[in-house]
Structure 1
């Protein structure tokens, strides 16, 4: 009996000493980069940069979808900042921002951990598609409406669930999801925020416009914020390109955020004086089809009923002048002059005085 009791006691001690379920799970490597099924940055040594492939599910031919992850773990303890990019496969500037941060953030000077995921949507990136497109198009869901997903569900639910449960949520105290506008449109440097804390984060990254916004169900930003992790969406200009000026601004803004979080040394830069804060937006739409020519640049201040664009027919004859629906700032423009009836030519951000709209209408 004493031997049996000793054996049981030993087994209990081993179980109690075993790593938690969230521990990093390595399953192999590719080109000397470890492949993992789960990440827990607490496992990783301090003062180092490490790269991983995260297995986020399987393609229709049974091969894994591998998502790149870069972790910079500081020499001293501190918060965990999660930066993600490429959840829409035609929105690329954010990927270059994370590549640059991976080359410039010094682990020896960092307090806390920087977790970067430069390419959340491999099938979308391969096809330059906004959607999650693992097959020839029988279904093309928006991965940024699928969080937190469901492991064991359909393809996109399982993919999102693995990202959420095994990579994103367990490794974030604060987060920024990087985007651009999608094909045929362009943004300024533009941030979506949803409360006072995330508005402060938005101010620190130094955008042109902050849009207070209640957001959409299933986005990385809103799902994290609702779960207690303050998060913002950072929009960086045009799709399907690397814009060096926009990338440099985002790198500087995220560095400024890390200073505010006490992750990096240095003085915190105040928000730009030109920053425009809005809580609503209104599309300016063409009521006739044709060729559109914008009359004002992206970012211009506008007054209600000010001309924004001209629509011309196939012979160049003016068929419509599109007017601004409100006083505000042009936050988005259509870059393709071919215009369908009812298409949005521009979006105007503005501040609604309705008290219910304080954090977004």
Structure 2
């Protein structure tokens, strides 16, 4: 199956045998026909519980009245990341089939095991977003990933995977995409978040697996786990509506072309070297310079205090909340401003080069861009 093959578009030859138009017919997804104008709630049986009961993942589908692409929205791959769940629910609640061209497919909670337990992980402590596209005879995580990917995702033309920060961290609203790919760059910029981070995506993530299969995929990150954040949810819904309009799936409003969008072609995590009480007064979006103090870690017994110093200039696009930490804890994600949009013409003639910074001999620096996706 090729991306978008579920769309149910057939060529309509005229009386003289010349193809004059396309018929927009019912599409088949998960064994069910979805006709133009339909709004359906389907079930993907992706796993079993310890008791042998089927784990049924809801899949939402809206098929428009006119031809268009198929866009897939996924959330809850990490069961404790809630903002995306509400974003997908809201988009589907308010989207009318008669105002849609193409088909909208949504999985509000991919990791139902983790969602029920308020856990990032599956019951076996595996991170589902490290196993895509999966394998039907692999581990539990690999089997779930394979089921979701082959039965739903592979049928789509494009995909937005929704996430938040992880483990008491929060992310500035941002799109992550491989900006070397003009198709993905345009898709990310169409979201209108104001912050776009270059990242190919780690092997095993849904975004990377989809992109490698020819499906245009980006990740939206906003907020923190274990809570619903109204402002970030509204921003995510707005971004998806912008994207639907940009894909010509709706006649809605498109993002303001004059609005500033920051592109970060590099980013770095800053980690602490000492255990203790981590305190910071920094906020998401703060601009920092090399040598700026980002926070402190204080030993609760000896009261010895160490400073966390910015090893690079940039902007804080992700950060941990004040808490107790151990050595190696990732405290700040700094987006490094500068660079430029790749020259697409030159790109076609030269091998792809991943935009990673050279290693820096600073104790607090570790290149780990996929920590929270």
Q: Shorter-normalised TM-score: what interval?
A: 0.7 to 0.9
C-alpha distance in structure 1 between counterparts of 2:182 and 2:313, whole Å: 24
CA shift, 1:250, in A, is 0.6
Matched, 1:184 2:168: yes
* Aligned equivalent of 2:355: 360
CA shift, 1:65, in A, is 1.1
RMSD: 2.5
Structure 1 unaligned segments of length 5 or more: list them.
1-20, 25-36, 134-138
CA shift, 1:255, in A, is 0.5
CA shift, 1:121, in A, is 0.5
* Aligned equivalent of 1:291: 277
Select 1:255's aligned residue among 223, 238, 241. Answer: 241
* Aligned equivalent of 1:46: 36
Which TM-score applies when normalising by structure 2? 0.80
CA shift, 1:274, in A, is 4.0
Select 2:158's aligned residue among 169, 174, 184. Answer: 174
Which TM-score applies when normalising by structure 1? 0.83
Aligned residues, how many?
322
Change (3 A) 1:330 1:318: farther
Q: Conserved in 1, the CA contact under 8 Å of 2:315 and 2:337?
A: no
CA shift, 1:205, in A, is 1.4
Structure 2 unaligned segments of length 5 or more: list them.
9-27, 343-350, 357-373
C-alpha distance in structure 2 between counterparts of 1:358 and 1:268, whole Å: 32
Q: How far does the alpha carbon of each residue in 1:29-61 deviate from its partner, in whole angstroms, 9 at most, with x for none?
A: xxxxxxxx96268x3111121111211122222
CA shift, 1:295, in A, is 3.1
Alignment of 1:310-329 (within 5 A): 310-314=296-300, 317=303, 319-329=305-315
Alignment of 1:193-272 (within 5 A): 193-194=177-178, 195-270=181-256
CA shift, 1:238, in A, is 0.8
SS at 2:107's partner residue?
strand
Select 2:50's aligned residue among 46, 49, 60. Answer: 60
Considering fraction of residues, name the structure with more helix: 1
C-alpha distance in structure 1 between counterparts of 2:335 and 2:47, whole Å: 39
SS at 2:333's partner residue?
strand
* Aligned equivalent of 1:109: 99
* Aligned equivalent of 1:126: 116
* Aligned equivalent of 1:146: 131
C-alpha distance in structure 2 between counterparts of 1:110 and 1:320, whole Å: 55
Q: How far does the alpha carbon of each residue in 1:140-197 deviate from its partner, in whole angstroms, 9 at most, with x for none?
A: 2111111111113332222211111112212x10110001111211101122101222
CA shift, 1:301, in A, is 0.8
User: Highest Rg: 1 or 2?
Assistant: 1
Change (3 A) 1:267 1:359: farther
C-alpha distance in structure 2 between counterparts of 1:61 and 1:71, whole Å: 30
CA shift, 1:227, in A, is 0.8
SS at 1:188's partner residue?
strand
C-alpha distance in structure 2 between counterparts of 1:188 and 1:174, whole Å: 23
